[in-house]
């Protein structure tokens, strides 16, 4: 169960068991776009516990939108997003919040708050506390007697940034900032982790650090969906892969099979680099 008062056991915010998030034939268009032109058209995909699924495909095919629907930013126009086979948008707001809090999200762009690395990594833990406890911690911070929770340090260790809790986020490189964003998602012990092109524009060292964190999370039973342009990365980290084109998933299966012997003609052209888009 997700608690709001900050319990103290080892995985206080994780669910009783790992969860499965799935999109079932979802269609979605952004408000304000021409006639709400659909970005997604009957796309289906699932993030299974203890498995990495890579979403690959050209830019603008709806990978980010699909991840945002998984994270319950918005309801789909058609189809369902399910969490453990229950339609997430038929739940009450409180139930949906509880389930949403079992999902972590790492964005492509720098998405850190101003302040220290610890403040960022602890954010997810902070919002899960009661207002009373938050006020107490805030008061202790003011007098300088509040240390970040252990889970903040553990999450930073996971991404290779141990000892950097006090750094100002403005002083971080793009790679370090992205590793902090990954740590922020891991600090709450999510059951599902969604990553939207987390290593775009990062150097090999930072890319490796993030990929290590992803495989480590997978080994701990976390279900992971990662959108990436880097097909070599998909091969390195993903158990399953899905190719998206024109807002729908045209090919899915074990990563090796998807890249070496795809069924769909367009998917074959894409993995060979022949698809001009």
Query: Which of 80, 184, 240, 252 is close enough to bind another protein by CB under 8 A?
Result: 184
Check binding of 139 to another protein (CB under 8 A).
no
| Residues 66-105 close enough to bind another protein by CB under 8 A | 71, 73, 97, 100-101, 103-105
Identify the helix (H) or strand (E) that includes residue 158.
Answer: helix 150-158
In contact, 39 and 63? CB cutoff 8 Å: no
Of 79 and 190, the one with the shorter C-beta distance to another protein is 190
Give the SS3 label for residue 100: helix
The Cα-based distances of 38 to 46, 127, 170, 267 in angstroms read 20, 33, 37, 21
Check binding of 28 to another protein (CB under 8 A).
no
Check binding of 272 to another protein (CB under 8 A).
no
In contact, 262 and 251? CB cutoff 8 Å: yes
Considering the complex, what minimum distance in angstroms separates the CB of residue 111 from another protein? 4
Considering the complex, what minimum distance in angstroms separates the CB of residue 277 from another protein? 26
Identify the helix (H) or strand (E) that includes residue 179.
Answer: helix 174-186
- Alpha-carbon distance of 150 to 171, in angstroms, equals 23
Check binding of 123 to another protein (CB under 8 A).
yes
Check binding of 114 to another protein (CB under 8 A).
yes
In contact, 207 and 199? CB cutoff 8 Å: yes
- Per CB under 8 A, residues contacting another protein are 71, 73, 97, 100-101, 103-105, 107, 109-115, 123-124, 127-128, 181, 184-185, 188
């Amino acid at each position: 169960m997700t608690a709001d008062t900050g319990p103290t056991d080892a995985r206080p915010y994780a669910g009783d068991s790992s969860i499965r998030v799935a999109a079932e034939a979802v269609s979605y268009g952004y408000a304000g776009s021409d006639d709400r032109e659909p970005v997604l058209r009957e796309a289906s995909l699932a993030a299974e516990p203890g498995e990495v699924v890579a979403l690959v495909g050209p830019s603008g095919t709806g990978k980010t939108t699909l991840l945002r629907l998984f994270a319950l930013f918005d309801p789909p126009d058609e189809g369902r997003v399910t969490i453990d086979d229950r339609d997430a948008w038929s739940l009450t707001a409180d139930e949906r919040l509880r389930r949403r809090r079992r999902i972590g999200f790492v964005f492509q762009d720098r998405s850190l708050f101003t302040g220290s690395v610890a403040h960022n990594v602890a954010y997810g833990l902070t919002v899960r506390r009661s207002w009373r406890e938050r006020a107490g911690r805030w008061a202790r911070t003011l007098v300088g007697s509040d240390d970040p929770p252990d889970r903040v340090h553990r999450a930073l260790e996971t991404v290779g940034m141990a000892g950097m809790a006090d750094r100002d986020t403005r002083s971080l490189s793009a790679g370090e900032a992205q590793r902090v964003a990954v740590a922020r998602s891991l600090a709450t012990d999510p059951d599902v982790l969604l990553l939207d092109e987390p290593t775009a524009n990062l150097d090999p060292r930072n890319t490796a650090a993030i990929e290590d964190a992803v495989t480590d999370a997978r080994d701990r039973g976390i279900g992971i969906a990662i959108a990436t342009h880097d097909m070599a990365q998909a091969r390195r980290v993903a158990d399953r892969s899905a190719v998206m084109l024109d807002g729908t998933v045209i090919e899915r299966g074990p990563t090796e099979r998807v890249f070496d012997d795809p069924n769909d003609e367009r998917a074959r052209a894409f993995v060979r680099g022949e698809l001009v888009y």
